[in-house]
Amino acid sequence: MYDTARRVTLVKQRVRENTRRKRQRGIYGLSAACMLLCAALMQTAGTVVGPGHPEAWGAFGAMLLREDAGGYVLVVSGVTYGADFSATEDGGAAMKAAILADATLKTVPAVADGRIVALTEKYRGSTSHYMAYAAEELARACYPDRFPA
Average pLDDT in the chain:
76
The amino acid at residue 108 is V
Could you tell me the CA-to-CA distances from 45 to 40, 119, 128, 135, 139 in Å, in that order? 8, 18, 18, 9, 9
b vs e for 3-32, b when ≥16 Cβ sit within 10 Å of the residue's Cβ? Answer: eeeeeeeeeeeeeeeeeeeeeeeeeeeeee
Instruction: Say if residues 64 and 57 touch (Cβ distance below 8 Å).
Output: yes
pLDDT at 13: 93
pLDDT at 53: 45
pTM of the full structure: 0.49
The pLDDT tens digits for 68-123 are 556 677 777 778 777 888 888 888 888 888 888 888 888 888 888 888 888 887 77
d(CA 36, CA 53): 23
**In the structure, what pLDDT confidence band is assigned to residue 59 with cuts at 50, 70 and 90?**
very low
Smallest CA-to-CA distance from 144 within 67, 69, 47 is with: 69
Question: Between 67 and 43, where is the model more confident?
Answer: 43
Could you tell me the CA-to-CA distances from 100 to 105, 113, 115, 138 in Å, in that order? 7, 11, 11, 20
